[in-house]
Amino acid sequence: MADDQNMHLVIIRHGESEWNKLNLFTGWTDVDLTDTGRAEAAAGGKALKEQGFDFDVCYTSLLKRAIHTLNIVLDEMDRAWLPVHKTWRLNERHYGALQGLNKAKAAEEHGEEQVLIWRRSFDVQPPALTPGDERDPHVQAMFRDVPQEDLPYTECLKDTIARAWPYFEQEIKPQLESGKRVLIAAHGNSLRALVMQLEHLTPEEILKVNIPTGVPCSYTFDKDWNILDKHYIGDPATIEAKINAVANQGKAKK
């Protein structure tokens, strides 16, 4: 347990997945990490260990790219024994009928501006799935314990916040407030949902936030949830390159 009165949280976005590599809209599709993604997670775990980080409890989504990222990080830290809570509420945002489409191809079809709106607007949902579609979470085994009415057919960032933040408040906040050191391995948009609330950002501000893959981000809060410190853990040049790469994904191939 941390011996100071401050609260310690680290978030990490999963490394490159098979569909990131193919530049496809992934959302809730349960694709795995690539070798690059596994290496990113291992580097993140190594950096945490080298800098003396330790944790008491971990949280992740139901999607294997986040779960495997967490497992690899914990292996690097020799902490595979830590308790891990998995929840659909930390899933990536659901991309609706865009799931499985190539981002650049979608930009050609619908126009770069429209794709950018779907990817980056706060409250515009992509086209919804038809109920019963094989991509519909209502018919997938992974979500059989989730109340049907809670499951989406599509989501914007606002929707993602509406499910992720209450989970943080109800489940994760009390752990931090009791002095537990928490590690969350999740996705670009579910982490953005948390960052927006923790940093009191506006919708305009959070849309400009690009969370790099596989790079742990450490927050230290005082007991009133003021941020005393926030920093990425790893090589600064690598981190900057990654943030820029994330920002460039939705552009049509020239």
Distance of CA 74 to the CA centre of its chain: 17
Task: Reply yes or no on whether 50 is catalytic.
Answer: no
121 is in an annotated binding site: no
Residue in this structure with the two tokens 């949830």, named with its chain if needed:
225
169 is in an annotated binding site: no
| Cβ–Cβ < 8 Å for 161, 193 | yes
Task: Reply yes or no on whether 14 is catalytic.
Answer: yes
Pairing, β 217-221 against β 7-13: antiparallel
Is the pLDDT at 249 greater than 60? The verdict is no
13 is in an annotated binding site: yes
- The half-sphere exposure of 183 on its side-chain side, counting CA atoms within 13 A, is 31
DSSP label at 193? H
Among 14, 40, 68, 155, the active-site one is 14
**Phi, psi for residue 35 in degrees, rounded to 5:** -60, -40
Q: For residue range 162-201, what is the model confidence (pLDDT) as tens digits?
A: 999 999 999 999 999 999 999 999 999 999 999 999 999 9
DSSP of 129-182: PPTT-TT-GGG-GGGTTS-GGG--SS--HHHHHHHHHHHIIIIIHHHHHTT--E
More confident residue, 24 or 4: 24
Q: How far apart are CA 21 and CA 149, in angstroms?
A: 33
Is the pLDDT at 69 greater than 60? The verdict is yes
Distance of CA 20 to the CA centre of its chain: 13
3-state secondary structure at position 115: helix
Q: For residue range 95-149, what is the model confidence (pLDDT) as tens digits?
A: 999 999 999 989 998 899 999 889 888 999 999 999 999 999 999 999 999 999 9
All structural domains of the chain: 7-22+33-54+61-94+156-248 (3.40.50.1240)
Q: How far apart are CA 149 and CA 129, in angstroms?
A: 15
Say whether pTM exceeds 0.85: yes
Among 40, 76, 92, 155, the active-site one is 92
238 is in an annotated binding site: no
Residue in this structure with the two tokens 């928490």, named with its chain if needed:
182
1 band by pLDDT with thresholds 50, 70 and 90: very low
91 is in an annotated binding site: no
CA distances 239 to 138, 175, 228, 246, Å, are 37, 29, 21, 11
Q: How far apart are CA 191 and CA 152, in angstroms?
A: 18
94 is in an annotated binding site: yes
